[in-house]
Amino acid sequence: MKKGIHPEYGPATVTCSCGNVFRTNSTVKDMHVNSCSACHPYYTGKKTFVDTEGRIDAFKRRFAAKKG
């Protein structure tokens, strides 16, 4: 590796919007994230489904006319 061109790699603090704080190693010293393993639905097993403005219903209405 060339000297002087790589960022410094060391301890970092990651803060989630849910309040969870953990330490890891990174080139960025302080990180703020929207979700982590403590609050993300994939890791917690809590499934969430958001149908914004009835988009699924609008899709079904639009393509129901084309059937058949």
Encoding tokens for residue 27?
A: 């080139």
Instruction: Indicate the helix (H) or strand (E) that contains 22.
Output: strand 21-26
Q: Which residue segments constitute the domains of the chain, with CATH numbers given?
A: 10-64 (4.10.80.400)
Q: What does each of the 68 residues of the chain score in pLDDT, given as a tens digit? A: 788 899 999 999 999 988 999 999 999 999 999 888 888 777 777 776 666 677 777 888 888 876 65
- Is the pTM here over 0.75, yes or no? no
